[in-house]
Structure 1
């Protein structure tokens, strides 16, 4: 195009194209030498996608959860949030999850009969939770019976049987 009959605008386009090819080639070479570094250009975002552009909220939350290592804790929280859905309404009505630590889920049963029933259903419960949330979230279940009333009140305590020792 650089012939005798080229117009000024054609010459300007050809020069711009040549300049872009030269600068683009250097930028590609620089990115190949430093693969971990993103190309820094102007101080504003261009027409291409950039991490500075507005993004979906869910994507930002997923990235933050992954970066901070919260994914295991959030998955464990789903056990508490979806307890009735995971184990069934009847079991959920008579038990509640108390703690999840290192793959061991601690449950509190409504009565000693339900505690025994939950101990017998332990494998099935672990399977249901694994089907709903994924493997390795809950590996074992520890079942506690109902909480008994405590006779121990206050910061100081005298050892012995307590108020029942006067009955015989």
Structure 2
């Protein structure tokens, strides 16, 4: 027989799964509409094919994120059923009790989730010249500052 806490956890999991599915559906729709716009403005078959590939990648990512969220919802429900409680992280996000499995006190560390801000469609990178191990400063790698090789720049008004 299910307790009231277990029933509430199941209802919360179901609601969270519905929300994850709705979000995934919206992302897939946005990807399809973006692809249609890109295909209409494309001038050659390669650009059209790239738009389609980009759409498929976005749809795959949305499906992946939905599945990750569903898995997290199930883990959280199981933790509530097992302990009757759930944990709170330093970021305020709820999760399951870590016990001896906690790897770090850093938010997001060891969870497989990004710790910083995530912007859809943007790939992160490392700034050039910072902690490269070469002993050069950022200015040494920037031709616009007077150091390094000349002739190459950002193309902007950066000086």
- For the pair shown, the structure with the greater C-alpha radius of gyration is 1
Q: Say yes or no: TM over 0.5.
A: no
Q: TM-score, normalised by structure 1?
A: 0.23
Q: TM-score, normalised by structure 2?
A: 0.24
